[in-house]
Amino acid sequence: MKHWQFVLLTTIGVACLCFSLVTIVFAHQNRKLQEAVQAQQAIINKGALSQQIGANLLRELTAIAPTDEKMRGLLEASGYNSSVTPAAVSPVPGR
């Protein structure tokens, strides 16, 4: 092997080693970023779940409001007006 071939192959080997190290560093940073994004997504999912629970709770409270004066007063005091009339709510059979 001639001297220039040795130098060329050594240079290529060092370049490959450097690229490998850069790839390892980027992979580590990418993993950190993915963990941060997953944490943010978990917070978003919790917020969406809270909204669903809140909407379902409000719907149930609104359904109860026509038959319960205290519930109707609570909803009206909170700024929610029930559009359901008492005649629309059917009584439970057997009571």
The model's pLDDT over 3-54, given as tens digits with 9 standing for 90+, comes to 999 999 999 999 999 999 999 999 999 999 999 999 999 999 888 888 889 8
As for how many domains the chain has, the answer is 1
For residue 8, tell me if it sits in a domain: no
Contact between 82 and 65 under an 8 Å Cβ cutoff? The reply is yes
pTM of the model: 0.50
Domain that holds residue 39: 24-66
Is residue 92 scored above 70 in pLDDT?
A: no
- In whole angstroms, give the CA distance from residue 21 to residue 13: 12
For residue 13, tell me if it sits in a domain: no
For residue 44, tell me if it sits in a domain: yes
For residue 9, tell me if it sits in a domain: no
- Return the number of other C-beta atoms located less than 10 Å from residue 75's C-beta: 18
pLDDT of residue 95: 44
For residue 32, tell me if it sits in a domain: yes
Is residue 69 scored above 90 in pLDDT?
A: no
pLDDT of residue 62: 86
Count, in order, helices (H) and strands (E) of the chain.
2, 0
pLDDT of residue 88: 47
